[in-house]
Amino acid sequence: MEASQPDELCAASGTPLSRRGFIAASAAGVLAACRTRHAVTLGVQSYSFRDRSLDDAIAAMQLLGLRSCELWQDHVEPKGISREEKRKWRETVAMDHFHLVRAKLSRAAIALSAYNISFRDDFSDAEIERGFEMAAALGAPLITSSSNVRTTARVAPIAERRKMLVGMHNHSRIDPNEFATAQSLVDALKAGPYIAVNLDIGHFTAANQDAVAFLQEHHDRIVTLHLKDRKRDQGENMPFGRGDAPIKAVLELLQSQGWPIPANIEYEYKGHNSLDEVARCIEYCGRALA
């Protein structure tokens, strides 16, 4: 982790809290309160800690009191290799690799809400099949995927055969082969009963779509939410509360309706460091749910 981590760990041992330790402790308190007062499962997409290794990302989650995680594929796949090398790795890696990751998360008392592996057009059929095996080895209940629209037809029958949901993740770029609009996601649902939606409310807002209306209408096919803030009209990522995404309204809707959809913070704006910024995102969500 970063150079200041010793101060963070001292905070847990009873010595005076550093500024970062105070922020982390505050966030952990917010999450503890959410678990006792609210029905909302507030977690994190581990992509939020993309500046850290998996071990350091897990340590950050523990420090912040996070107990639910959507695991980003780059936290478990090798880095710095070619596309063909990555394909070979996916098609041949032993499942023990994922069992070890599962054990690390279990020891940290962090539950997986999903495994995020993005099935794209360049995936071989074997890579797609192995993606489901990886998710099962991790103990993930479902997959989220920044997939291409065309790839959905290949994923749907495998998902149905394996009885595992795949939530298609939307971005904001309007393109016939990308999920961005409400209609593109609705069309994906027609591919089969095991195709679902991983709704990113920040990207949805940037594409000038209505996240609250989509959640109300399709909550039974939404398996996870990504919480981030963006400006409309393809606007930039913003700190929570400074963009146009209806984070508070979405959390209040989850709370009032009791829908069991994990709401995963995805820190993507330009901030100070991932631990501080995820803590601020947690605190914003806690205020929204208060």
Residue with structure tokens 């909302």?
Answer: 40
Q: CA–CA separation, 105 vs 99, rounded Å? A: 10
What is the reported pLDDT for 39? 84
Domain count, the chain: 1
What is the reported pLDDT for 35? 62
Q: CA–CA separation, 200 vs 163, rounded Å? A: 24
Extract the runs of DSSP E, i.e. beta strands, from the chain.
Answer: 42-45, 68-72, 111-116, 143-145, 166-169, 195-200, 222-227, 229-230, 237-238, 263-265
| Strand 237-238 to 111-116 pairing | unpaired
Burial class (CB in 10 A: 0-12, 13-18, 19+), 38: middle
* Global pTM value: 0.90
CATH number of residue 222's parent domain? 3.20.20.150
pLDDT tens digits in sequence order for the chain, 290 residues long = 333 333 343 333 344 556 666 677 777 777 776 665 568 999 999 999 999 999 999 999 999 999 999 999 999 999 999 999 999 999 999 999 999 999 999 999 999 999 999 999 999 999 999 999 999 999 999 999 999 999 999 999 999 999 999 999 999 999 999 999 999 999 999 999 999 999 999 999 999 999 999 999 999 999 999 999 999 999 999 999 999 999 999 999 999 999 999 999 999 999 989 999 999 999 999 999 98
Establish if 10 belongs to a structural domain: no
Q: CA–CA separation, 170 vs 173, rounded Å? A: 9
Establish if 7 belongs to a structural domain: no
Establish if 6 belongs to a structural domain: no
Residue with structure tokens 């592996």?
Answer: 117
Establish if 1 belongs to a structural domain: no
What is the reported pLDDT for 28? 75
What is the reported pLDDT for 37? 58
What is the reported pLDDT for 116? 98
Establish if 241 belongs to a structural domain: yes
**3 state DSSP class of 175:** coil
What is the reported pLDDT for 107? 98
Domain ranges, residue 126 = 17-289
Establish if 227 belongs to a structural domain: yes
